Amino acid sequence: MDSSELKYWLGFSSFPGIGPLRFKLLLNYFGSAEKAWNAEVKTLLEIGLGEKLTQKFDHFRNTFLLDDYIRDLEKKEITVLTIKDKSYPKLLSQISDAPFLIYARGDLSVLNEVQPRIGVVGTRKITGYGEEVTRKITQGLVDAGVTIVSGMAYGVDTVAHQTAVENGGKTIAVLGCGVDIIHPRVNTTLYWQIIKKHGVVMSEFPMGMYADKGMFPARN
């Protein structure tokens, strides 16, 4: 995908009102994200985008500093993967509402490597026993060459990532916020350990977006 078209994929990714399915419809109708982004309001209404959403989108595209956003991505060394890219996670691309674009930091090869990947998730209010069991299970998986996938939230998620890191394994953190946002802040060291050596941190949400409880179901 050329940089000109990617620019508008990023634009739609940054607009909260258009998700994977709606973006796919726009892409099929207009043939490109650039044409959809620059479409007349009248046309957007005619294809059923809805008056309220069309007004929000028109305001967004006229005020959003897209070039500044792209420069910020480059400055923070954030990689962008569209669903058309070879590096996009193959398993993720197979779900019906796969994110059309994801943001990532770290070793992208972990996303499509041959070794198996298993999700280790659970309660945020972990007990001592829960932590012990999570560490034991995760260590066993790491020793078997499994990549650990979790959400870097409090509790089980954090313990799973930490155990993978401590045992020299690979791990993928799928965030419920922008990939440049460390949430919770207590996981700052863990976040950078994953990025620098032990895997990848990724998100479908735009850069700068903070975590909100409504975003976690989509992340999951």
Q: Mean of the pLDDT values across residues 82-97?
A: 91
Query: What are the tens digits of pLDDT across the range 40-63?
Result: 999 999 999 999 999 999 999 999
Place 1 in a pLDDT band, splitting at 50, 70 and 90. confident
pLDDT at 26 over 60: yes
Report the C-alpha gap between 114 and 18 in whole angstroms: 33
Coil, helix or strand for 118? strand
Place 122 in a pLDDT band, splitting at 50, 70 and 90. very high
Q: What is the pTM assigned to this prediction?
A: 0.91
Sheet order of strands, 79-82 included: 79-82, 101-106, 199-203, 171-174, 147-150, 117-119
Radius of gyration of the chain (CA): 19
pLDDT at 169 over 60: yes
Return the pLDDT at 217. 54
State the angle between helix axes of 128-143 and 156-166 in degrees (0 to 180), rounded to the nearest 10: 40
Place 30 in a pLDDT band, splitting at 50, 70 and 90. very high
